[in-house]
Every structure is written in C-alpha cells, then in structure tokens.
Chain A
C-alpha cells in the first residue's frame, strides 16, 4: 500500500488554507452581526446601533443647521428612517455610518427646502470657557456666525468633508469610506472646500482676523 509523502500532504493543506478566505475583523464582524439582527427588528441590536452613532450624527446635523431643537428632531428622523429602511440595507465594504450620514444629509436638505433659513445664534454657539470681555464675546459670536453662514453657503459635499475632517477629526481614509470616494478625491475635495470657504470669509486677511477675534 503506497503512502502519500508528508510534503504532499503539507502542500495540500497550504492550498486549502489559501483557497478559504481569512477570518473577518472581529469588530466589523460584531457590528455586522448587530446589523443583521437589527434587520430582523431585534430591539437590542437596534439600540446598540443607535448608541454607537447618535452623537456623531447629531453633531453633523447641528453643525449644518442653527437650531438645536431642529437638530434633535432631524436626528430622530434619521434613526427612525434607520429602523424603517434597515431591512433593505446590504452589508458591503463601506462603514454603516456612511449610510447614516447620507440619510442625515438628505434630512438637512429637506429641512432647508421646507424651512427658510433663519439666523438663530442663541442655541447653537455655547459661551467660550475662558473669561472674555462682553465686547469680545459679541465679536466672537459674530465671527462664529459668519463662519457658519459661510459654511452653509458651500455645496453639501464641501460641508460634509469639512465637518468630517475638522469637526469629527476623521482621517482622509475614513472620510473616503464614509463618502464613498477615493482618498485622492477627498484630498482634492478638501482643498476646494477650504479655498471656497476662505474666499467666502473674505480672503486670507479676514481669516487671520477671525482667528484673532478682531475686525479689520
């Protein structure tokens, strides 16, 4: 009776290991499992997805609109839509929050279509922590308002990249995954967004002025 050599057996084992795909990342696999359960309307899984993403979605919405109460309502609408549409959601390579950001962007767009823009500064901008003179405070708030107004004048993609990059402090790769773009495209988009915002703010000199809290 002939015996297969150990080298042949080892080669077969290596071939088998190469054919089979590797194990997924455990964190991604855990999130995917919650998504799958949420698709089956599992309350616990839905709650986990909510707690994981609610705060960043709210910040994104709050940075794009001026009313805190409206921001909360829009956030609720986002997660209501999440539970209503998650059955149709397909797990792909993109992060789950990318889908939530797209829902949030659509809610903000609808918000501005339904409601005329109203400058409401009282609820959004908190008071600075350091002690400031009242006059300085007023000037600070005017600068922040000006920045916000300038930001809202940008296209939605410009706003999203600036908020994800500099408010959420995400990397170029993470922003690319959320926005379903390449890293090169995100860098280019970032460059155009900052250029446009800088121009809206009055050019270089005005930018430095804003940072110092002074008026020229």
Chain B
C-alpha cells in the first residue's frame, strides 16, 4: 500500500487538517488512502441514544444505586481544597504581620500620652524577662533608661514635663547590677548619655516653669547617681554634704566627682555650642550647663550639684566659684584693678595672690587688674602711691622722681615713678640705687 504520509507525525498533522477535532467537517477524497479511510470512519453514522432509552438507562442506574448501602454522610455541595484554607490562613497571617510591622515605628516613638505607649511598655517588659544574666539585664535596663530620657526630651519639645519619666529612668538604672554597668564601657557611656539628657531636661523644664525648683533639685540628685555610674563610681548611700549645698570651700569631692573640668567638659559640654561658650566663662561644667539653658538659671544650684574640684583650681588658676559669681553667655574679659595688678612680673612672684600680670610697655603705661599697683602718671603729673622726694631729700622706699615730678611708679623714662631710687643728682631716694622707675616702665 502506498501512502503519501507513512510517518505517523505527518499523518497526524494531515488528519488534523482534514478532520479537525471538535468539528463535523468531512473532507473530499484525497490521494492518501489512510486519510480516506479515516474519512470513511467519520462518515460512519452512529445512532444517537433515544429519549426513552435515556430514561430507561437512568432508571436502571438509580435502581442499582438504591440497592446499595445507604450513604454514610452528606458531603457539602462544594468542598474546598485543603490547600485553599491554608492559603487563606497564610495570607491572613501575612497581612497581620505586615500590619504589626507597620506599627513598629509608631510604637517605638510613642510617648506616655499616646495610645500605643502601653504596647511599648509591654514589649519592654518582655525584653527584660528575656534577659538571662546580669550583663544582659543591665543592657536592657540602661537602654530603657535612655529611652525614658529621650521620651522626656520629646515631651519637653511639646512643652510638657513628667517627673515620672526621670524617676523611671533612674529606677531602671538602679535596678541594674552596678558591677555590670561599671565593668562595661559602653554601658557607662550609655548611662552618662541618659544622665546628660535628664539633666538637660530638668534645667529646661525649670527654665520653662514646667516644674518647681524643689522638684528639680530632688530629681537632679537622683540623676547624679547615673552620672557617678557613668564615671565608674559605685553608688554610695546619699549623704548631706553641706559643701555640696553651699558651694564654697574645699570640701574634697565625693570620690572623683568631676575633679577636673576636662573629662566632665567633654562629658557634658561638647554636644552644645552654647555650653562650650559658657565653659570659658566658668570653670565648672554644671555652670556651663546652666548657662546654656537661660540666663535666669542660677549657677549656684547647678554648681552645688557638681563637687568642687580641687584640681580644677590648680589647673585653671581661677578663683573658687562662689554664689556671687553669675555666669553669663559671653565671657567677660578680666577687669584691671589698680590695687593689685602687678606690672611687669607675675603677681605670685611678688606675693600678690591671683593678680593679673600686666605687660611692660616702655611707652605707655597700662594699668592692670592688679591689686592696687601704681598705674604711672603722665609727665608733669604727680603720681600717686609713690612717695615723692623733693630734691636733696632722701626719700624712702625708692621713689625716684624727676625734680618736677614726684609721681609714683610706672613712669615714662622722663618721669621715673616711685619705687625706684634713680634719683636725679642730689636726690638720693630710697629703695633701689639704680632704678629708673617703678616696677614697670623701663627705658
């Protein structure tokens, strides 16, 4: 038998074209006998099922169905695939997770006045419960204290203040193991940061009259515990130290309470430029902090909170801060004092405590802040302080003056002031024999 389409694939394609599926089309004769045979089969009319036969067969079928065991249970009309329920549950869970995740930033930034704050507290309690050892508990508690401080700062930005947040922060740190904090530099730094924020909040709140001064005092003392911890000082029982309250005297600092300005300065001053400016005016960091708030802040209170540093005095050569000193935002230049300025040399070398050194100027005669030193007199101007000796009069105390100028110390070359014994001929003054003038003004 010959066929144009001996290959099954080619025959199949030819048959799909000649006798397409799901179609009643019948092709004309083709040269291929196999296709013609297929067409003959397609033309083989098969009888349809008669209507009565349809009913009869159905009846016979249901009879056989009824003859069987009754059904055990009725199935639902439409049965879902088990994967459908799992799919719905998975999508619902994912939507819930997405919703919770979207709330996370809101929860993290919530404040005590907001609805989500209780969620934040719940999460923090869970965090603390999960901490197993002292170190991890301390980390959690210090972090929570820092959060309280940040919350207090955020409330302050909104013009509100809550002492509870400060107390809560202190309580959190107090609950932690002191050894765990002291042994970790990061925890100490975190504690110090919290203390800094809390102190700032207290001062600002007082400045904005959101809280009474007594409350600020009390809370500041509590915050001081955090400050000490941050500097490696173990917590000690509170004591009534009058020196701390009075702000005067050389009471030794309780341990190493900011003995030197530099560490505390870096600790407290660097974040604020205003604070840096005030630091130059006042030696104590607390005073600096107060200055940054407002001018109304009394430095005495802040000062009392920081123990007087004995070393500070040596380092800065500045007088002990007292209540009388009012720090200002702008440093004031030192004021000259005629009585105690020491021209020419340091005051200490001349036994004058704390005086300012006045530079020697051959031309002019500059007065300094010294403790009552002679300020020199212009020519032909009787100076003060020095004892003028008339010619031919032995003077005392070295007050060489020109014949016409009985002036005091610090005089120009033509006007030798007092204190020197460079007397014109005939005038043997007291004091130095070869002295053109006073302590200052040498030709």
Contact = CB atoms under 8 A, between A and B. Distances in A.
Interface of A: 1, 3-4, 9, 12-13, 16, 20-21, 23-24, 29, 33, 36-37, 40-43, 46-47, 50, 54-55, 58-59, 62-63, 68, 72, 75-76, 79-80, 82-84, 123-126, 144, 147-148, 151, 162-163, 165-167, 169-172, 174, 184, 187-188, 190-191, 194-195, 197-199, 201, 203-204, 207-208, 210-212
Contacts of A83: 61, 64-65, 68
Given A9-B101, A187-B9, A210-B40, 12 more contacts: A9-B98, A20-B83, A20-B90, A21-B83, A36-B75, A41-B70, A62-B46, A63-B44, A172-B16, A194-B38, A204-B1, A211-B29
Contacts of A144: 44
B21 A170 contact: yes
A126 B47 contact: yes
Given A12-B94, A124-B47, A148-B44, A80 B37 contact: no
A190 B15 contact: yes
Interface string B20-58: 111110000100011011111111111111100110111
Contacts of A171: 16, 21-22
Contacts of B70: 41
Nearest to B72: A40
Contacts of A59: 46, 48-49
Given A37-B75, A147-B41, A43 B8 contact: no
B163 to A, nearest CB: 26
A167 B42 contact: yes
A197 B41 contact: yes
A3 B104 contact: yes
A42 B73 CA distance: 10
Given A9-B98, A41-B70, A76 B57 contact: yes
B123 A43 contact: no
A169 B43 CA distance: 11
Contact of A46 (B40, B48, B61): B61
B37 A207 contact: yes
Contacts of A41: 65, 68-71
27 contacts: A16-B94, A24-B81, A40-B74, A40-B75, A41-B65, A42-B74, A46-B62, A50-B61, A54-B58, A62-B46, A72-B56, A72-B57, A83-B65, A147-B40, A148-B44, A165-B19, A166-B39, A166-B41, A166-B42, A169-B42, A187-B9, A194-B11, A197-B41, A208-B33, A211-B39, A211-B43, A212-B29
B332 interface: no
A9 B38 CA distance: 59
A144 to B, nearest CB: 6
A208 B28 CA distance: 11
Contacts of A40: 71-75
A148 B45 CA distance: 11
B60 interface: yes
A194 to B, nearest CB: 4
Contact of A1 (B23, B86, B104): B104
A169 B12 CA distance: 13
B65 A76 contact: no
A199 B47 contact: no
Contacts of B123: 1
B84 interface: yes
Choose among B38, B57, B62, B72 the residue with the greatest number of A CB atoms under 10 Å from its CB.
B57
Interface in B316-349: none
B132 interface: no
Contact of A195 (B34, B57, B69): B34
A198 B37 contact: yes
Closest 6 pairs between A and B when the two form their complex, measured CB to CB = A204-B33, A171-B21, A191-B8, A41-B71, A166-B42, A187-B12
B314 interface: no
Contact of B61 (A79, A187, A203): A79
Contact of A188 (B3, B8, B45): B8
Contacts of A204: 1-3, 33, 36
B8 A187 contact: yes
A64 to B, nearest CB: 10
A1 B22 contact: no
Nearest to A60: B46
Contacts of B104: 1, 3
A199 B43 CA distance: 18
Nearest to B21: A171
Contact of A3 (B22, B42, B101): B101
Given A59-B48, A151-B41, A195-B34, A75 B57 contact: yes
Contacts of B21: 169-171, 174
B87 A20 contact: yes
Contact of B40 (A58, A62, A63, A211): A211
Contact of A42 (B49, B75, B78, B108): B75
Contacts of B69: 41
B22 A43 contact: no
A24 to B, nearest CB: 7
Contacts of A76: 56-57, 60-61
A66 to B, nearest CB: 11
A140 to B, nearest CB: 10
B105 interface: yes
B107 interface: yes
